[in-house]
């Protein structure tokens, strides 16, 4: 069989965004068939607002991950259209790729309130700063913890003294 490169046709949501002038990159479907799109940090709020208006009223999950030492960090958002009598709601994953030196992205808290603790966890574990978040502080680690424990280049301290433990 010849080695043919396959052309992946943009998904429904990507086509809608393109038709409405929103800059993004179609990444194809994930392992479950959910459409994934890549969004530049500066376009996250306009695209998120448009997706909310398009019916994506539920932020099921926001999180982060590290692509590896020296590589980019990613803030991702799994959005769902929740409606009455929907046996298979529409879903989309939005990904924002960020430099590890200064990973800053706007907070989507003002669009989906469920982003509150999820963005705080991504900040706490990866050091991704969510501009405009109303209470961006550590949620899992002590306030004085140094570093971002889920980054792949993180070096765990040999000892951490708990203050006022007794």
- For the segment 19-41, the average pLDDT, to the nearest whole number, is 95
Burial code of 26-42, b = ≥16 C-beta within 10 A, e = fewer?
bbeeeeeebbbbebebe
- Looking at residue 8, its pLDDT comes to 66
Report the alpha-carbon distance of residue 136 to residue 8 in Å, rounded: 38
Report the alpha-carbon distance of residue 37 to residue 29 in Å, rounded: 9
Single pTM value for the model: 0.88
> Could you read off the pLDDT of 84-131 as tens digits, one per residue?
877 889 999 999 999 999 999 999 999 999 999 999 999 999 999 999
Evaluate if residue 162 carries a pLDDT over 80. Answer: no
When comparing pLDDT for 104 and 165, which is higher? Answer: 104
Averaged confidence pLDDT in the chain: 91
Q: Is 57 helix (H, G, I), strand (E, B) or coil?
A: coil
In this predicted structure, which of 46-60, 73-87, 108-122 has the lowest mean pLDDT? 73-87
């Amino acid at each position: 069989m010849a080695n043919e490169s396959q052309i992946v046709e943009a998904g429904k949501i990507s086509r809608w965004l393109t038709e409405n002038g929103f800059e993004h990159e179609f990444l194809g479907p994930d392992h479950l068939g959910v459409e994934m799109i890549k969004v530049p940090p500066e376009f996250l709020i306009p695209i998120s607002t448009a997706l909310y208006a398009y019916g994506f009223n539920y932020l099921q999950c926001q999180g982060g991950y590290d692509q590896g030492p020296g590589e980019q960090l990613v803030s991702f958002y799994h959005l769902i259209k929740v409606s009455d009598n929907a046996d298979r709601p529409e879903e989309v994953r939005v990904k924002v790729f960020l430099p590890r030196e200064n990973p800053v992205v706007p907070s989507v808290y003002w669009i989906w309130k469920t982003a509150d603790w999820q963005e705080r966890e991504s900040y706490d574990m990866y050091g991704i700063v969510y501009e405009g978040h109303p209470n961006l502080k550590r949620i899992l680690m002590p306030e004085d913890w140094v570093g971002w424990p889920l980054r792949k280049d993180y070096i765990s301290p040999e000892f951490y003294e708990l203050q006022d433990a007794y």
